[in-house]
Amino acid sequence: MNDGYWNKRGKLSYRYKGEIFYTITPLPYYLERRQILLDKIEQVVEKKLGKIKKSLNIADFGSGDGYYCCWLAKKIPESTIYGFDISKSMINKAKKRANSLNIPNTRFFCTDIGNKGRKYDLLLILAVLQHFIDEDKIAEKVNQINKNIKKGGQVVLFEATSNNTKKNNKLISRAQDFYIDVFKKNNFKLVDKKFVSFPFFKKYQKTFLKFIKKFLKGSKVEKNIMVNKNKFLRSFNQLVFSIGKYLDRVIKDTKKEGNTIFIFKKVA
């Protein structure tokens, strides 16, 4: 993990429909995927609340600009939501987001989650472990996370996955079984998973969109940001994405490149 890289990323933003974004993923793809993830998190939270009938201690490891923390804090105002991130710029943006939305039940820390010594009912790890190059470091982190989760507590993990390990820019896409095995070895059992993929749009990204970006100036990150900021390119991406969702029904996705949402429960 490189805090310098994420601090720089935190300075590249754009506004769309009243919301500030930092993602380099094409917006139509990102927003659809985010909604699927939000729906899954909501299901987990409702089940937890239904069983214990009290407030929850929830943490987001790699909380970024605080979007998910603030979303949860609004849904369950009786609970406290903790956000942890290595990027000072992102933590500052998360605090600003919470203040602007008048959300008092969030706490943000520019530190590792293990440093606070709390135990949580629910932990979000969203697109974080895919940025760990060393797989031994992932095992160490999951071992530490085990100490931060109450017995019966759950982890919502969301990572890039594919049939074969692939390195792409600043992230590594790994097989689903890799994450399942790492968590199983640390007293977690898999209770649910959902694979999210849009193969037609993925192919479009690797061909036509990649060609278009050759004519843009700046780093890879800056070019991706420009694509999302440009009204014409953003609209064209939306059109392609909408068409692609229908075509995906008949396209055979053999590579299984996308993202997987895992739900793990601590059993010991």
pLDDT digits (tens, 9 = 90+) for 65-123: 999 999 999 999 999 999 999 888 889 999 999 999 999 999 999 988 866 678 999 99
Q: Which of 25-34, 43-52, 133-142, 233-242 has the lowest mean pLDDT?
A: 43-52
**Pairwise CA distance, residues 52 & 55, whole Å:** 8
- Contact yes or no for 14/225 (Cβ under 8 A): yes
Query: Which residues, other chains included, contact 186 with Cβ-Cβ below 8 Å and sequence gap of 6+?
Result: 139, 142, 143, 145, 146
Using CA atoms, how far apart are residues 16 and 229, in angstroms rounded to an integer? Answer: 8
Q: Which helix (H) or strand (E) segment is 82 a member of? A: strand 80-84
Q: Which CATH superfamily is domain 3-22+54-190+258-266 in?
A: Vaccinia Virus protein VP39 (3.40.50.150)
Each residue of 215-246: pLDDT tens digit? 999 888 899 999 999 999 999 999 999 999 99
CA 220 to chain centre: 20
